[in-house]
Amino acid sequence: MNLPNKLTLSRILLVPIFMIFILPIPEWVVNSEYLTFLHSQMVALNEFIKGTGKYIAAGIFIIASLTDGVDGYIARKTKQVTRMGKFLDPVADKLLVTAALIVLLQNGMLSGWAAMFIIGREFIVTGLRLIAAGEGIVIAASNWGKIKTATTMVAIVLSILENFPLSQFTDFPFDRVTMFIAVIVTIYSGYDYIAKNSKVLDYGK
């Protein structure tokens, strides 16, 4: 396995680690009568997750996000583009973002509508790319797609950190504003992909 694929695989492996540091143990587990001997430890762990844990999770998310651009750059620069890489890269991206959105949703830090639009757009674009691939057509990432990725990553990090360190200076809801921008860009980038590649849907008629 070459270096770009190892970086991509590491991004996938970081997803469950990210979730461990941000997702508290469910209350029904903490208060289970069968686990009373672990109650104090689980309460302490949840306090850690809600405090220090979210900063570690944000750091893991940022590192994982950065590998997205690095693995692709190395693969193209060193001509190490492989079928495995083409398969793993989009899987890793979608796993990371979807996991983060689900965690934020479960923690009450994200609207279900925002999660639905962002995840739904990924399904649509992925489906379009699969159809195109079947016809031997490669749909490259668009500029709007890259902007979507950047704004979504920033919005997720701000949401995880609850606007820290900006919250030390102002009460402005940067997380909500950037997430709103990310949703708008997501919707437009999805439309842009479909509009520019609608001919793919005409194949096989």
Q: What is the pTM of this model?
A: 0.89
CA 71, 73, 79, 83 torsion: positive or negative? positive
> Are the C-beta atoms of 54 and 21 separated by less than 8 Å?
yes
Tell me, what DSSP letter sits at residue 141? P
Return per-residue pLDDT of the chain as tens, 205 residues.
Answer: 788 889 999 999 999 999 999 999 999 999 999 999 999 999 999 999 999 999 999 999 999 998 887 887 888 888 888 878 877 888 888 899 999 999 999 999 999 999 999 999 998 988 888 788 777 777 777 889 889 999 999 999 999 999 999 999 999 999 999 999 999 999 999 999 888 888 877 755 5
Residues with Cβ < 8 Å from 133, sequence gap 6 or more?
none
CB 155 within 8 A of CB 178: yes
Report domain extents, the chain.
Answer: 1-108, 109-205
